[in-house]
């Protein structure tokens, strides 16, 4: 396996995904065309109002020098308004298409970003066309008064430049919001900043160059520098953020100085697995039935991926009973798996003692040394009434522990020797 599989992933072919994308895209395009036709009925009034705001002269100096360019600009304006009014439907279609392949945090980030961009696009378009550009044109027109020139402006050219600047602002806002949301969601940090930079800057500049008129190289150069600079400024902290930490997980060092992040998955296994405290430095996430619920499995994958856990310790889940693709997905993320088998251990005793459960946790090694595991187990046994420890590779069927007995699964020879030195009787037990 060389990729990540979610619970919603199917065995559909690439062609089926392309067919679905084509259907959704066609539906959005048809809606935009219909709305463009509707808006074209009132676009003249809208453009008349906008040109009145953009006109920098005391007496109107805006003219139409090329009727064919004006007709094209008129339809372009109607198409942009049609696209903006079709955005809620386009957002729903995009989210429905992308949702099965996204982790929970990525789904939240995507829907927040799309809704935010729809609002920002409307707001920035209104601000640019009614406030910023009228001021900019008036400022530029003031130079004509100083030189004694009489300004005559092409309405189509003014609108094209206005649309280009407004589009640039929308793209910059989109890139800024992506960086902000990804940073807040802990999806972006210094380790993957290059990946994010390549895609954010690449897509933003490609779309920016696509709409800027080719006869305005100065505008192209200026907007490119400003857009990239603003995105880098907003993402300064996120692009340099350290590896994210969450759920109480700490960086643990092994005997060779390697860094490990261990996550304890406290799964109640539908009420069959008891709750115990993890070792110091372990992260902790709690689930009701991660071993059975696909959504909880996706959530765990999300936590492992976002916080770079390289070892997962399940409380009571039987790893062999989990889907093979799910365990492979954890391995793909560089995460090993282990289980304490608390659900099985807890049914071997009727006196409600937690000594066996705590011993299962205390025996954990990697990144902890074997010596520290032995010390933890010795401290637990020394403060209890345990005189006999049963052990083996697996928990025997029908095992019934007495009050002076405890169970350890597959202990090391050093641990067996240490327990014997403490006067504990060690008995091998199997079916």
- Tens of pLDDT, residue by residue over 87-96, are 999 999 999 9
Query: Quick one: the chain helix, strand, coil %, rounded to 5?
Result: 60, 10, 30
Quick one: tokens of 95?
Answer: 């989210």
Q: Which helix (H) or strand (E) holds 313?
A: strand 311-314
Q: Where do the DSSP E strands lie in 34-76? A: 62-63
Give the model's pLDDT for residue 393: 87
Give the model's pLDDT for residue 27: 93
Using CB atoms within 10 Å of the CB of residue 38, give its burial: 0 to 12 exposed, 13 to 18 middle, 19+ buried.
middle
β-strands 62-63, 336-339 pairing: unpaired
Cβ-based neighbours of 257, under 8 Å, separated by 6 or more: none
CB 260 within 8 A of CB 295: no
Give the model's pLDDT for residue 327: 87
**Cα 172 versus chain centre, distance:** 20
Quick one: tokens of 173?
Answer: 């806002």
**Cα 34 versus chain centre, distance:** 35
Quick one: tokens of 192?
Answer: 């993957």
Over residues 52-68, the mean pLDDT reads: 73
- For the cut 60, the answer to whether the pLDDT of residue 366 exceeds it is yes
* Of 183, 220, 188, nearest in space to 205 by CA: 220
Residue of higher predicted confidence among 214 and 357: 357
Over residues 409-425, the mean pLDDT reads: 88
- For the cut 70, the answer to whether the pLDDT of residue 175 exceeds it is yes
* Of 255, 261, 258, 265, nearest in space to 372 by CA: 255
Give the model's pLDDT for residue 38: 92
Q: What is the sign of the dihedral through the CA atoms of 280, 283, 286 and 290?
A: negative
Give the model's pLDDT for residue 314: 93
Give the model's pLDDT for residue 313: 93
- For the cut 80, the answer to whether the pLDDT of residue 192 exceeds it is yes
Give the span between the Cα atoms of 395 and 379, in whole angstroms: 23
Domain boundaries, the chain: 14-239, 245-251+258-342, 348-431
Give the span between the Cα atoms of 102 and 117, in whole angstroms: 19
Mean pLDDT of the chain: 85
Which of the four pLDDT bands, split at 50, 70 and 90, describes residue 10?
Answer: low
Beta strands across the sheet bearing 405-409? 405-409, 388-392, 425-428
Give the model's pLDDT for residue 148: 60
- What's phi and psi for 315, nearest 5 deg? -75, -60
HSE-up of 345 (CA within 13 Å, CB side)? 31
What's the CATH fold of domain 245-251+258-342?
Answer: Rossmann fold (3.40.50)
Over residues 396-412, the mean pLDDT reads: 87
- For the cut 80, the answer to whether the pLDDT of residue 59 exceeds it is no
Q: Which helix (H) or strand (E) holds 71?
A: helix 67-85
- For the cut 60, the answer to whether the pLDDT of residue 291 exceeds it is yes
CB 7 within 8 A of CB 297: yes
Over residues 385-389, the mean pLDDT reads: 87
Rg (CA), the chain: 32
Whole-model pTM: value is: 0.77
Buried-exposed string 323-335: b where 16+ CB fall within 10 A, e elsewhere = eeebbebbebeeb
Over residues 70-75, the mean pLDDT reads: 80
Which of the four pLDDT bands, split at 50, 70 and 90, describes residue 29?
Answer: very high
* Of 183, 178, 187, 180, nearest in space to 103 by CA: 187
Instruction: Mark out the alpha helices in 315-369 (DSSP H runs).
Output: 324-332, 342-346, 355-362
Cis geometry, peptide bond prior to residue 367 (ω within 30 degrees of 0): yes
Task: Report CA dihedral (206, 208, 213, 215) to the nearest 10 degrees.
Answer: -70
**Cα 395 versus chain centre, distance:** 40
Give the span between the Cα atoms of 278 and 300, in whole angstroms: 17
CB 272 within 8 A of CB 316: yes
Give the span between the Cα atoms of 103 and 98, in whole angstroms: 10
Q: Which helix (H) or strand (E) holds 338?
A: strand 336-339
- For the cut 70, the answer to whether the pLDDT of residue 334 exceeds it is yes
- For the cut 60, the answer to whether the pLDDT of residue 328 exceeds it is yes
């Amino acid at each position: 396996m060389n990729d990540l599989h979610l619970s919603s992933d199917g065995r559909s072919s690439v062609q089926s995904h392309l067919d679905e994308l084509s259907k959704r895209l066609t539906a959005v395009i048809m809606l935009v065309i219909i709305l463009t036709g509707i808006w074209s009925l009132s676009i003249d009034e809208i453009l008349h109002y906008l040109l009145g705001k953009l006109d920098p002269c005391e007496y109107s100096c805006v003219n139409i020098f090329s009727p064919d360019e004006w007709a094209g600009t008129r339809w372009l304006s109607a198409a942009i308004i049609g696209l903006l009014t079709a955005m809620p439907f386009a957002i729903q279609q995009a989210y429905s298409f992308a949702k099965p392949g996204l982790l929970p945090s990525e789904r939240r980030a995507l829907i927040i970003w799309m809704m935010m961009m729809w609002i920002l696009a409307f707001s920035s378009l209104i601000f640019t066309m009614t406030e910023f550009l009228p001021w900019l044109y008036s400022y530029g027109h003031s130079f004509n008064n100083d030189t004694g020139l009489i300004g005559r402006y092409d309405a189509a050219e003014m609108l094209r430049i206005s649309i280009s600047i407004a589009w640039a602002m929308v793209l910059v806002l989109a890139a800024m919001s992506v960086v902000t949301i990804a940073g807040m969601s802990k999806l972006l940090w210094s380790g993957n900043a290059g990946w994010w930079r390549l895609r954010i800057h690449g897509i933003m500049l490609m779309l920016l160059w696509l709409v800027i008129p080719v006869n305005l190289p100065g505008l192209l150069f200026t907007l490119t520098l400003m857009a990239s600079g603003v995105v880098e400024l907003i993402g300064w902290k996120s692009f340099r953020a350290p590896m994210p930490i969450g759920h109480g997980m700490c960086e643990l060092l092994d005997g060779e100085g390697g860094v490990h992040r261990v996550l304890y998955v406290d799964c109640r296994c539908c009420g069959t697995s008891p709750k115990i405290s993890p070792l110091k430095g372990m992260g902790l996430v709690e689930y009701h039935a991660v071993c059975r619920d696909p959504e909880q499995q996706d959530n765990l994958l999300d936590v492992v991926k976002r916080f770079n856990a390289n070892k997962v310790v399940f409380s009571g889940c039987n790893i062999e009973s989990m889907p093979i693709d799910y365990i492979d997905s954890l391995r793909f993320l560089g995460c090993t798996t282990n289980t304490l088998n608390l659900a099985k251990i807890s049914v071997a005793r009727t006196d409600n003692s937690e000594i066996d459960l705590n011993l299962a946790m205390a025996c954990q090694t990697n990144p902890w040394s074997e010596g520290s595991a032995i010390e933890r187990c010795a401290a637990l046994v020394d403060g209890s009434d345990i005189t006999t420890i049963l052990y083996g590779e697996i928990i025997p069927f029908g095992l019934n522990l007495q009050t002076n007995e405890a169970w350890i699964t597959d202990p090391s020879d050093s641990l067996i020797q240490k327990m014997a030195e403490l006067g504990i009787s060690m008995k091998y037990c199997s079916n």
